[in-house]
Amino acid sequence: MEHKRLSIPLAGKLRRIRGSGTSWVERVEGPGLPCFLKTYLYPWPKGPFRGIFRNTLFAPSRVAREWRALKHLAAHGVQPDLALWREERRCLGFLLQARLLSLDFGGPDLAAPEGIQLLQTHGTKGLQALAAFVDALHDSGLRDPDFRLRNFLVRERGGRLQFAKIDSSSSWLVRPGSSRDRARKRDRDMLRAELAEVGLELGEGTGPGAR
């Protein structure tokens, strides 16, 4: 895999941390900003056809959706801006490769033991903060059918929990402030089910969210 096409120099070596044959995530190790590089490949012959229609207003690519979601949440003050750079390589409209460079939020995901421990340590207040974050995310107009614990990051700052939503490759935007729609309820129900599996219950949001 060549990285010389990157328009932003990476100060350090890349270490693959998870993935498959067609998509993976690498962590930058070394001096400079800690970040992650996600790569999607669309190998011939099926791959390009699978991605050819993902560059329109109605069906942007997975990386484009992730980028849009990260920028949207940052613009609405829901979470810090983690998106640094993205790239798509196409040939005659066929999507061959897409990459996304993002900042390290500085905390584990909620599916990791460390993430669950943070929620357990903060008890009811931690779960209320998570619910408030979800409320703020939805109020901004983002809808994301992949509300799984592994796609939420958590960190502790000043005795409070802060959260970030990542991997929103299937997300879309609706009018900000929309409160009564099936997608919003489905998102929360999925997160509640995920938390229930580890013995936790999503609290009720009490404010604009942990930001």
pLDDT in tens, 21-37: 788 999 987 667 789 99
Neighbours of 164 (CB within 10 A): 26
Mean pLDDT of all residues in the chain?
85
DSSP state letter for 197: T
Whole-number pLDDT of residue 129? 96
Closest CA to 80 of 155, 192, 178: 155
Question: For residue 146, what are the contacts with CB-CB under 8 A and spacing of at least 6?
Answer: 167, 168, 169, 170, 171
| pTM summary value | 0.86
Segments in the chain forming alpha helices (H): 46-51, 62-75, 113-139, 182-196
In a 10 Å sphere around its CB, with 0-12 CB exposed, 13-18 middle and 19+ buried, how is residue 69 labelled?
A: buried
User: Phi, psi at residue 102, to the nearest 5°?
Assistant: -135, 155
Give CA–CA dist 203/211, Å, rounded.
17
**Which structure tokens are listed for 139?**
């109020």
Strand ranges inside the chain, DSSP E: 13-19, 23-29, 35-41, 83-91, 94-103, 142-143, 152-157, 160-165, 172-173
Confidence check: pLDDT of 132 > 90: yes
Least confident interval from 54-58, 175-179, 184-188, 191-195? 54-58
pLDDT tens column, 150-185: 999 999 999 999 999 999 999 989 887 666 678 888
Cα separation of 3 and 9, whole Å?
9
